[in-house]
Structure 1
Amino acid sequence: MKLKKPKFWDHKKPSFFSYLLLPFSIILGLITKIKSKPKFSNSKIKTICVGNIYIGGTGKTSLAIKIKEILDKNNIRACFIKKFYPNQTDEQKLLSKNGVLFSNLKRITALNEAISEGFEVAIFDDGLQDGTIKYDLEIVCFNNLNWIGNGLTLPSGPLRENINNLKSYENVFLNGNEESLIAIKEQIKRINPNININSGKYIPLNIDEFDKDQNYLVFSGIGNHKTFVEMLKNNKLKIVSDLEYPDHYQYSKKDFDEIIINAKKFNAHIITTEKDYLRLENLNKNEIFYVKSSLDISDEKNLTNKLIKLNEKN
Structure 2
Amino acid sequence: MKLIKPKFWQTKNFISFILYPLSLATYLINISKLLLIKKRFAIKTICIGNIFVGGTGKTSLAIEINELLNNKFKTIFIKKKYKNQVDEINLLRNKGEIILSNNRENALLTASKKNFEVAILDDGLQQKNICYDLKIVCFNSEDALGNEFMLPAGPLRENVNAINKYDLIFINGERKNYKLLTKLKSINKKLRIFEGKYKPLNLKKFNLNKKYLMFCGIGNPHEFEKTLVKYKFDICEKIIFPDHHKLTKIELKELKDKAKKGNFTIVTTEKDFFRLSKIERKNIKFLKIKLEINDKKNFQKTLISKL
CA drift of 1:170 comes to 2.5
Is 2:90 the counterpart of 1:100? no
| Aligned partner of residue 158 in structure 2, secondary structure | coil
The one of 222, 230, 235 aligned to 1:234: 230
Worse-matched range after superposition: 182-191 or 268-277: 182-191
Structure 2 residue runs of 5 or longer lacking an equivalent are none
Structure 1 residue runs of 5 or longer lacking an equivalent are none
Is 2:257 the counterpart of 1:261? yes
CA drift of 1:113 comes to 1.2
Distance 2:127 2:2 in 1: 24
CA contact (8 A) 2:269 2:287 kept: yes
Aligned twin of 2:6: 6
CA drift of 1:282 comes to 6.8
Distance 1:184 1:31 in 2: 26
Distance 2:245 2:226 in 1: 20
1:167-204 per-residue CA deviation (whole Å, 9 max, x = no partner) reads: 22221001123x52222211111111000010000111
Aligned twin of 1:176: 173
CA drift of 1:307 comes to 2.3
| Aligned partner of residue 273 in structure 2, secondary structure | helix
Aligned twin of 1:130: 127
CA contact (8 A) 2:27 2:159 kept: no
State the identity as a percent.
Answer: 45
Aligned twin of 1:303: 299
Alignment of 1:23-38 (within 5 A): 23-36=21-34, 37-38=36-37
Give the number of equivalent residue pairs. Answer: 306
Aligned twin of 1:70: 68
TM-score by length of 1: 0.93
| Aligned partner of residue 138 in structure 1, secondary structure | strand
Distance 2:206 2:106 in 1: 43
Is 2:217 the counterpart of 1:196? no
Distance 1:195 1:182 in 2: 15
Letter in 2 for 1:18: S
Worse-matched range after superposition: 24-33 or 51-60: 24-33
| Aligned partner of residue 253 in structure 2, secondary structure | helix
Alignment of 1:10-89 (within 5 A): 10-11=10-11, 14-36=12-34, 37-42=36-41, 44-72=42-70, 74-89=71-86
Aligned twin of 1:155: 152
1:83-114 per-residue CA deviation (whole Å, 9 max, x = no partner) reads: 11111111111111111111111111111111
Distance 2:258 2:137 in 1: 38
Letter in 2 for 1:16: F
CA contact (8 A) 2:40 2:131 kept: yes
TM-score by length of 2: 0.95
Moved over 3 A (4+): none
Distance 1:75 1:150 in 2: 41
